[in-house]
Chains A and B, each alone.
Chain A
Amino acid sequence: MTTDTIAGTVVDLDDEGFLVDPTRWSEDMAAELARRENVDPLTERHWQVVRFMRRQYEETGSGPNVRMLAKLSGIPVKELYQLFPKGPAKTAAKIAGIPKPRGCI
């Protein structure tokens, strides 16, 4: 765990760079979190996904995986990968300040 300052707010990040406490997140932090993931600039389409992830987390306690994200948001999987090449669910969750979507094995 590391402590960092993002958009003027001091926050704890876990080993993979996810916010430890999602309640510390604000929309101002998104652009800087996105830059760290090489998502720059953060367009309105990116925001649509980020806000969607955030809402899903607030409603269900976890962000969805990519196929579920596509079905729920109506944005095709292919486009989600164009927006977030390193993995849409994981990257968008990080930018949205929510925990890594619970992957299962």
Chain B
Amino acid sequence: MHRIVVLGAGTGGTLAANRLRRAFGETDASITVVDRDDRHVYQPGLLFVPFGLAHAEDLVRPRGHQIHKGIEYLVDPIDRVDIEASRVRLDDGRELPYDVLVVATGAVLAPEETEGLTGEGWMEKMFTFYDPQGAEALAERLRFFEQGRLVVDVVEMPIKCPVAPLEFCFLADWFFQQQGVRDKVEIAYVTPLDGAFTKPVSSRRLGGMLEERGIELVTEFNTGEVDGPGGKLVSYDDRQVGFDLAVVIPVHNGASYVTRSPGLGDPLGFIPTDEHTLQSTVSPRVFALGDAAGVPASKAGSVTHFEGEVLVENVRRFLAGEPLDASFDGHANCFIETGFSKAMMIDFNYDTEPLPGRFPSSVGLPLMKESHLNHLGKLLFQWFYWHTLLPGRDIPGVHSAMPSAGKDWRQAADEEVRT
């Protein structure tokens, strides 16, 4: 009987374990899932918490309830992984030998790695909405923020959900209008990138949307220090951006046990992983998906969902001694909330930048265009998350490989001619 151990019961670990359970009979493989706690947070919902549109406690469900019958579930911190001996050691001393290890322990926030960020002013004038406590505390602060300068700062890429900080800006613009104080609040978006987003077509579109809303865009800003008492961000090349209230997306690392496990991860704690097969390059028995995987894809739930299908097929092939030929294309798909009950959708992969058109085909949701329908899609997605994505089922019409039909390829062609 094969022994499969899955580390992490977030989006990736849960959907991988549930898919693996269906792929293997209970007499063919044992599946054990480990997580350090029993709180599964619906992370896309955190964006709405600061604006009073959601409450953090409503976004949390027990991890164990999302994991199907026939899967062993252990709640205990991971001490380390021994990739030579193919064994996981838990904090309480238990050892879990494995034939295949699936690493899905995500990314952790490291605000303490930015000078000054967790110093004087942290959780008073500097916040993050990337965890439930920060999002709740920020909601309290925003309710009474009637004038001044709000700065949304991305310290470093990659981050989880790269569009979330932009969505935060759009929602802040909407929120302050609702409060009747928009004319007394300045909003600035500060990014290390050279535009609002990474790829040319979407960067122009999103940059234009910031401009339409009167949101200042500060680019190529590599935050070296956050000075709470002085109310300013200072870049490594000594530029300064002043703030009364800073919403900061801290740098991300992999889970701490990864750096304690010799040879398992890179110095930041992510798992070096083949971007197509999702097998790690550190050991053939180790696979990784989601935010924990060091692949050049977005750290986003949709990516993790699309990776799941490929990962399970390749684990099956590996255990059967077959070549790994399932291939992940880097597919990502995000709803971007833009305020006033509208949202926009983008769809892309390793090779294709986000393009306008419709998703998943010419009679689908509009791409790169604000619409009420996309906003409804974003709200409905929470239901799909708990009931379709985590159980490891496919969402009807949405597949692992990025769809090409429905995209306006002329826009991409234009781009190539121009550059």
Contact = CB atoms under 8 A, between A and B. Distances in A.
Pair from one complex = yes
Nearest to B270: A68
B268 interface: yes
Interface residues of B, number: 24
Contacts of B251: 67
B298 interface: yes
B272 interface: yes
Contacts of A65: 156-157
A77 interface: yes
A102 B296 CA distance: 7
Contacts of B113: 67
Contact of A78 (B224, B298, B419): B224
A67 B156 contact: yes
Interface string B213-240: 0000000101010000000000011000
Interface in A50-95: 60, 65-68, 71-72, 77-78, 81, 85-87
Interface in B296-351: 296-299
B394 interface: no
A105 B268 contact: no
A104 B224 contact: no
Interface in B117-154: none
**Interface residues of A toward B: which range?**
10 to 19
A104 B297 contact: yes
A15 interface: yes
B268 A68 contact: yes
Contact of A105 (B157, B222, B236): B157
Contact of B266 (A66, A68, A81): A68
A41 interface: no
B156 A104 contact: no
Given A104-B296, A104-B299, A67 B162 contact: no
Contact of A103 (B198, B222, B295): B198
A67 B268 contact: yes
Nearest to B354: A105
A105 B272 contact: no
B345 to A, nearest CB: 16
Interface of B is mostly: loop
A105 B419 contact: no
Given A67-B251, A71-B267, A78-B224, A103 B236 contact: no
B224 A81 contact: yes
B158 A104 contact: yes
A68 B254 CA distance: 12
Nearest to B192: A87
B189 interface: no
Contacts of B298: 104-105
Contacts of B170: none
Given A60-B272, A67-B251, A81-B237, A15 B224 contact: no
B197 interface: yes
B224 A77 contact: yes
Contacts of B156: 65-67
A85 B238 CA distance: 10
A72 B267 CA distance: 7
A77 B157 contact: no
Contacts of B268: 67-68, 71
Contacts of B158: 103-105
Contact of B222 (A15, A68, A81, A102): A81
Given A15-B419, A68-B268, A71-B267, A105 B197 contact: yes
Nearest to A102: B296
Nearest to B155: A67
B136 to A, nearest CB: 27
A67 B299 CA distance: 18
A61 to B, nearest CB: 10
A86 B220 CA distance: 9
Interface in A17-74: 60, 65-68, 71-72
Contacts of B236: 77-78, 81, 85
A77 B267 CA distance: 14
B198 A87 contact: no
Contacts of A66: 156, 222
Given A85-B237, A102-B296, A103-B158, 18 more contacts: A60-B272, A65-B156, A65-B157, A66-B222, A67-B113, A67-B156, A68-B266, A68-B267, A68-B268, A72-B267, A81-B222, A81-B237, A87-B222, A103-B157, A104-B298, A105-B158, A105-B162, A105-B298
15 contacts: A15-B419, A60-B272, A67-B156, A68-B266, A71-B267, A77-B224, A78-B224, A78-B236, A81-B222, A81-B236, A85-B237, A86-B237, A103-B158, A105-B157, A105-B162
* Ranked 5 nearest A-B pairs via Cβ: A81-B236, A104-B158, A71-B267, A105-B162, A105-B198
